[in-house]
Amino acid sequence: MKNIIVTGGSGKAGRAVCRHLVERGYNVLNIDMLPSSDPVCPMLKVDLTDFAQVMDAMQWSGGKDHPFRKFRTPDAVVHFAAIPAPDLQPEEVTFRTNIISTYNVFDAALRAGVRRIVWASSETTLGLPFSPENPPAYAPVDEDHPMRPESGYSLSKDLGEEMARQMARWNPGSSFIGLRLSNVMESRDYARFASWQDTPHFREWNLWSYIDARDCAQAVRRALHVDLVGADHFIIANADSVMTRPSADLMAEVFPNVPVRGAVSGTQTLLSIEKARRVLGYEPEYSWREARG
């Protein structure tokens, strides 16, 4: 599992994934529409809404004049390309782009003989944005929480998970691992966290959670190698919240009527990563608190 295509490798999380894999000896090809600000691997410009382009990118069958490409067909595909959030473009554009590109990547990868696909689902499938008027069913929120997409973006991710389940059923022996990523942060983002501490409602929308891009990359690497056949999904967040106040106190103030299941200690994440820990062996290595000093 050393030859990897990463779609969206020029994006915030994708850059961290490419760097993480390259530093560990993987051959990585970034498929994107724009160059990366951290060009650690070759890039191929591909419009993922065009199936012919995606199919061509999945397997190189030409001559020798492709010096940047280190492999013909990847061992696995990491699919992170998407319009990355609601309200960046019109709802229909976001939904259509994300659904078509996900279908094209999944289908082309399978046709090329790829058996493992790791892809970016989203925390938003679980009902975000949470608020006192739209609370979670319980906390910490885990993978059994009801799916409640509230936008074209989150609906595209929800349906992407269903697409993965059905395509895995059609292709026995294949694996689709969906990572329900929390709000992706880079080190430079941590300077903003201080401004949130006196306003717990400002980050209530995702239960004060986040994912360091480097830990996101670690989760991807573990998903590439986990012994798993079929389709499954995992919440990927950091072990702590974005707040300095205890998580139990935040729940009591903002969501007093939401059941809290089990003991919540200190600033523990309220998007549960227990399944990712148990199945993937994922354990966050970074925290904004260390950057804060």
Q: Which band of pLDDT confidence, cut at 50, 70 and 90, is reported for residue 266?
A: very high
Q: What local confidence, expressed as pLDDT, does residue 293 receive?
A: 45
Question: Could you give the percent of the chain with pLDDT greater than 90?
Answer: 94
Task: Identify the helix (H) or strand (E) that includes residue 215.
Answer: helix 213-225
Range with lowest mean pLDDT among 41-50, 91-100, 249-258, 284-293: 284-293
Mean pLDDT confidence for 234-244: 98
Q: Is the pLDDT of residue 90 over 50?
A: yes
Confidence (pTM): 0.97
Q: What local confidence, expressed as pLDDT, does residue 67 receive?
A: 76
Q: Can you spell out the DSSP letters for 121-173? A: EEGGGGSPSPBTTB--SSBSB-TTSPP---SHHHHHHHHHHHHHHHHHHHSTT
Q: What local confidence, expressed as pLDDT, does residue 65 receive?
A: 74
Q: Is the pLDDT of residue 220 over 90?
A: yes
Angle CA 231–234–240, to nearest 5: 175
Q: Is the peptide bond before 172 cis (omega within 30 degrees of 0)?
A: no
CB 68 within 8 A of CB 52: no
Mean pLDDT confidence for 148-163: 98
Tens digits of per-residue pLDDT, 165-201? 999 999 999 999 999 999 999 999 999 999 999 999 9
Instruction: Give just the sign of the alpha carbon dihedral 65, 71, 77, 79.
Output: negative
Tens digits of per-residue pLDDT, 132-155? 999 999 999 999 999 999 999 999
Q: What local confidence, expressed as pLDDT, does residue 292 receive?
A: 58
- The 10 Å CB-count burial string (b at 16+, else e) for 66-91 is eeeeeeeebbbbbbbbbbbebeeeee
Residue 53 CA to residue 105 CA, distance in Å, equals 10
Task: Identify which of 272, 288, 275, 187 has the alpha carbon closest to the alpha carbon of residue 232.
Answer: 275
Residue 183 CA to residue 85 CA, distance in Å, equals 10
Task: Identify which of 10, 12, 35 has the alpha carbon closest to the alpha carbon of residue 183.
Answer: 12
Tens digits of per-residue pLDDT, 60-77? 876 777 778 889 999 999
Q: Is the peptide bond before 129 cis (omega within 30 degrees of 0)?
A: yes
Angle CA 154–261–285, to nearest 5: 65
Mean pLDDT confidence for 216-232: 98
Residue 272 CA to residue 125 CA, distance in Å, equals 14
